[in-house]
Amino acid sequence: MLDLKRENLTDTQEAFMTDEELIINKVKDLITSRQLEPGDRLPSERKLSEKFNVSRSQVRSAIQKLEFYGLLKTLPKSGTVVSNLGVTALNGMMRDILKLQRPDFKSLVETRIMLEKNAVWLAAQRRSDEDLRHMEEALKAFENKLLTGESAVEEDMMFHLKLVEASNNSVMHSLVLIIVPEIITYFMSNKICSHVEARKLIREHQEIFDAIQAQDAEGAEKAIDLHFADLKNYCYS
Amino acid sequence: MLDLKRENLTDTQEAFMTDEELIINKVKDLITSRQLEPGDRLPSERKLSEKFNVSRSQVRSAIQKLEFYGLLKTLPKSGTVVSNLGVTALNGMMRDILKLQRPDFKSLVETRIMLEKNAVWLAAQRRSDEDLRHMEEALKAFENKLLTGESAVEEDMMFHLKLVEASNNSVMHSLVLIIVPEIITYFMSNKICSHVEARKLIREHQEIFDAIQAQDAEGAEKAIDLHFADLKNYCYS
DNA sequence: TGTGTACATTTGGTCAACCAAATTGGTCAA
DNA sequence: TTGACCAATTTGGTTGACCAAATGTACACA
């Protein structure tokens, strides 16, 4: 037990770590050192408990904590996998905080509009050529999917995400990444299907894109305001 | 079991919650409704499991999650107590997250300013008399602490939180609650001490408050812009 | 009456055994 | 060769019992 504990002591701190903290760090290292890539399955709890020479409960507890941070995702009766680390870690945390307070839909929408309005304004000033390319791709994907009559929720979100990415503000990006899915799931669960004309949506997206391309901040803000008019309307009615 | 589950169903969402989420919300409600104040001891895990008619492990898991969020603090072999919730606890949590991904400071500040600007604008329109009272209290506390020469970081944050609360937007409130401590710890860890004249800060806070009281949205926005001028300046220099 | 000590109870932590679902691998019929 | 099906195995989840520390209680002693 002690042998394993000290097998790769890198600093003095580790000497004072509890068993659980030690396991957490071990697994975290496995991930950050790319020995385990996102999507990979972790060894089973039993294997890990044997390998680290600790009880299964301790492994269990450690995994729960890591799952909390968004590094792992455990699938019941199947295994625990490494999830897309990075932003996800922050996301999982914030999402849970939001869930903890069960936000009202109106606040959610209000915040989203505010976020994207500002993001778009910044994007008009900061967008790189690469950003433009990404946005255009998302735009095309959205258009194609929509014109076939299919639902294009994912593609819609992707376009908005690219907008925010162009703002070059990582925090806003994270926040939109959290909030938009919340709104979508709300729409889903409440069976709200917007019967908006597809071409109208495409035109609105295009106008936002054009304004950003032209680095017209005011125009972009106005365009996205228009795009959100229906949502706003639904929300305040 | 079912009886207890539905004992105070307030909306349809709760019907789809898992046992664990249900317990989390129950306990959370106990705290937010002030039936349990910071420092109070929670009933023992066994009592809770009996009361909610679920297994002790489930209670245990729920408590662990809440402890993670900083709402509870469990003392081994002694009991779990309600901790002085929120702010400081969130700090610890975010500190851990930061080890995994550090959002850049500039984005953080930019987002904060955007959030509060909007929140203040809304607050000017929506603030209740109670909101005004809370803000005034926070204002006074900040003033008193500052004029004695002490650091008033907590009080400063409290005032800003009350501002955002007055916007009546729960999501913005959550976001500010996450972002502001992050900025504070950055300042702390980088030993950035603003030598701004205390009276200037107090005056700025007062001006924000006055504008909100007068329901002057534009004025409030302008006032908070002024208040953030130094921060913005530091950030873009 | 106040105080210290010993005992009983209550506490959260740990563990091994068990459960049902998911996966896996092989088998057999088409 | 392919596909469907079944059983054995592996998976995470759950449970109840036990542990040691902390707390509460009662009684003896000063």
Confidence of residue A7 (pLDDT cuts 50, 70, 90): very low
Q: Are A111 and B172 inside 8 Å of each other by CB?
A: yes
Structure tokens at B8: 């105070």
**pLDDT tens digits for A63-106?**
888 877 667 888 888 888 887 654 444 554 555 555 555 567 88
Q: Using the CA of B57, give the nucleotide whose C1' is nearest.
A: D14
Which residues in chain A touch residue B93, judged by CB atoms under 8 angstroms apart? 93
Q: Using the 8-state DSSP alphabet, how is residue A13 labeled? A: G
- Candidates B208, B100, B84, B217; CA nearest to A84 is B100
Q: What is the ipTM of this complex?
A: 0.57
User: Which amino acid is residue A116, in one-letter code?
Assistant: E
Distant-in-sequence, close-in-space partners of B163: CB < 8 Å, separation ≥ 6:
B116, B119, B120, B123, B135, B208, B212, B224
DSSP bridge partners of B81: B41, B73
Mean pLDDT over residues B155-180, rounded?
A: 87
- Confidence band, pLDDT 50/70/90 cuts, at residue B106: confident
SS3 A132: helix
CB contact under 8 A, A65 and B65: no
Under an 8 A CB cutoff, do B100 and A64 touch? no
Which pLDDT score is estimated for B222?
96
CA distance B107 to B88: 22
Domains along the sequence of chain A with CATH: 2-85 (1.10.10.10), 102-236 (1.20.120.530)
Considering only CB atoms, B169 lies closest to which of A98, A102, A110, namely: A110
pLDDT (tens digit, 9 = 90+) per residue, A129-163? Answer: 999 999 999 999 888 888 887 777 778 888 998 99
Burial class of residue B48 (count of CB atoms within 10 Å of its CB; 0-12, 13-18, 19+): buried
Shortest distance between the Cα of B97 and any Cα of chain A, in A, equals 7
